[in-house]
Structures are given as structure tokens and as C-alpha cells.
């Protein structure tokens, strides 16, 4: 079983979520999807009719909501209060607005504190957790013994995202998906507050030519060496 935190960062469409969940299950560890937390805040912002670019009001919304996120890799759950919002937070409205919302420093402060609290609780109870996001290795748990930075070519990422959208019943072309992942990555990498970047000591893994199982095998090996 895993001891401590595996920090899994990278842009969208690199297979992060699938890899994180399978790795956590394999290592009998917990799982935390920090992107889901930014998405829930974004959903609440949109429902409140607040402009995602209005940092002050976005921060107010973030402070006012009750976000409930589960840490089971088999059954991840995410709720706003007691409403299950797992499907809605993956929709196009939230995906379009999530980058500006997550660029607000007050939102990040709030969620990073919450993430650290959840991580400590799970490590205490279970020994280990796999955490996926954009700033886990650089900001949330910089002392984690294993940091991985997943990448993939933008063509591969667009195809994966488009296939995921279709599987979830959302209309999607590869061209649209490509524009969407490229736009989000640009915003996420160029923001001032905790931009998406590889931690210096993170292991880069290019998943363009690898299937999920090959990635899991490679990461489980790294985790057993360092965890």
C-alpha cells in the first residue's frame, strides 16, 4: 500500500483522471480530484449569475458554498450541499468558465486549504492518497515523495477528450475538443496564481503512445521505489 501522497499534475486530456483512480485503487489509497473542486465553485458562480471574471464576487460565492467531495477511487462523489453535481460539472458551461474562476487567488487559497485538510485526513486513515490537479506538486503538497507530470500531444488529448464527451452523451468533434483543451491549457499555464507547470523534481511521463495500463505499471513501480 502507498505511504503518503502521489501528486499527479498535467494538462487536460492526458489521462490524469483515469490513471489517478486506477493507481489509487491498485495501491489501496484514497483519491482526490482537485479539478472537480474548482468545477463545483464554477457551477455555483454560474448559478448565482456572477461573472466569472468578477474576482471579488467569485470569491464571495466560493466562501458561501458547502462543497462535499468523496475520496474513494472506485466511487468518486462530488456534491454542492447535498446535491450530486458530478455530471453537471463536466458540462460545457462549467468547462468554459472554470479557468477564470480558478485563476482567482482567494478561490485557490480556500480550496488549497481544504485540499490539504482532506489529504491529511485520508493519509491518517488510509496511509496514502493519489491527488490529481494542476498545482499539486508545486503548491498543494510540494514535499510529496512522488510527483508525476503527465503530458500528451494536443492531437491525442483532443481525441481523448472528444471520445469522453461522446461517451457521456455530449456532442463533440475532435476540432472543438482541440480548441477547448488548448484554450484551457493556455489560460491555466499563463495565470499569475499557481500556473500549471511541472515541478522541478516531477517525473515527466508522455502518455501519447502509452495505454492506461502501461502508464499505471510505470507509476506503480515509481511509487514502490519512493513511497
- Closer to ligand C5P by Cβ: residue 15 or 133: 133
> Of 35 and 128, which CB lies nearer to ligand C5P in the complex structure?
35
18 is in an annotated binding site: yes
Residue 173 counted as an annotated binding residue: no
Q: Which stretch binds ligand C5P (CB under 6 A): 69-77, 127-135, 166-174, 204-212?
A: 127-135
- Given a contact cutoff of 8 angstroms between Cβ atoms, the answer to whether 41 and 61 are in contact is yes
Q: What is the CA radius of gyration of the chain?
A: 16
Terminal alpha carbon distance of the chain: 9
Contacts (Cβ under 8 Å, ≥6 apart) of 120: none
* Dist. CA 129–CA 25, nearest whole Å: 10
Indicate whether 180 belongs to the interface with ligand C5P (CB under 6 A): no
Of 31, 107, 32, nearest to 65 by C-alpha is: 107
Site string for ligand C5P, 60-99 (x = CB under 6 A): --------------------------------------xx
Q: Tell me if 89 sits within 8 A of 78, measured CB to CB.
A: yes
Which set of grid coordinates corresponds to residue 45?
458562480
Nearer to ligand C5P, 181 or 223 (CB): 181
CB of 102 to ligand C5P, least distance (A): 4
Known binding residue 22? Answer is no
207 is a site residue for ligand C5P (CB under 6 A): no
Select from 68, 139, 61, 67 the least CA-distant residue to 100: 61
Least Å distance, CB 198 to ligand C5P, is 14
Q: Is the dihedral of CA 209, 213, 216, 222 positive or negative?
A: negative
List the x/- string, 12-51, binding to ligand C5P by CB under 6 A: x---------------------xx--xx------------
Residue 186 and residue 156: Cα distance in Å, rounded?
17
165 binds ligand C5P (CB under 6 A): no
Cβ 108 to ligand C5P shortest distance, Å: 7
The residues that touch ligand C5P, with contacts defined as CB under 6 A, are 12, 34-35, 38-39, 98-99, 102, 133-135, 184, 188
Amino acid at each position: 500500500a502507498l505511504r503518503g501522497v502521489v501528486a499527479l499534475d498535467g494538462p487536460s486530456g492526458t489521462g490524469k483522471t483515469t490513471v489517478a483512480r486506477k493507481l489509487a485503487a491498485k495501491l489501496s489509497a484514497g483519491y482526490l480530484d482537485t479539478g472537480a473542486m474548482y468545477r463545483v465553485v464554477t457551477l455555483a458562480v454560474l448559478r448565482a449569475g456572477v461573472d466569472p471574471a468578477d474576482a471579488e464576487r467569485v470569491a464571495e460565492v466560493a466562501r458561501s458554498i458547502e462543497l462535499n467531495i468523496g475520496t474513494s477511487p472506485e466511487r468518486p462523489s462530488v456534491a454542492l450541499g447535498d446535491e450530486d453535481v458530478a455530471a453537471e460539472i463536466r458540462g460545457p458551461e462549467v468547462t468554459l468558465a472554470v479557468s477564470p474562476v480558478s485563476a482567482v487567488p482567494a478561490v485557490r487559497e480556500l480550496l488549497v486549504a481544504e485540499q490539504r485538510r482532506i489529504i491529511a485526513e485520508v493519509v491518517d486513515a488510509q496511509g496514502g492518497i493519489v491527488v490529481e490537479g494542476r498545482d499539486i506538486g508545486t503548491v498543494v503538497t510540494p514535499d510529496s515523495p512522488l510527483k508525476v507530470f503527465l503530458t500528451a500531444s494536443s492531437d491525442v488529448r483532443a481525441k481523448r477528450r472528444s471520445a469522453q464527451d461522446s461517451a457521456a452523451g455530449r456532442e463533440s468533434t475532435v476540432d472543438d475538443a482541440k480548441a477547448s483543451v488548448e484554450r484551457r491549457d493556455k489560460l491555466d499555464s499563463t495565470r499569475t496564481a499557481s500556473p500549471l507547470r511541472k515541478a522541478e523534481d516531477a517525473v515527466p511521463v508522455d502518455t501519447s503512445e502509452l495505454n492506461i495500463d502501461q502508464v499505471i505499471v510505470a507509476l506503480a513501480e515509481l511509487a514502490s521505489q519512493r513511497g
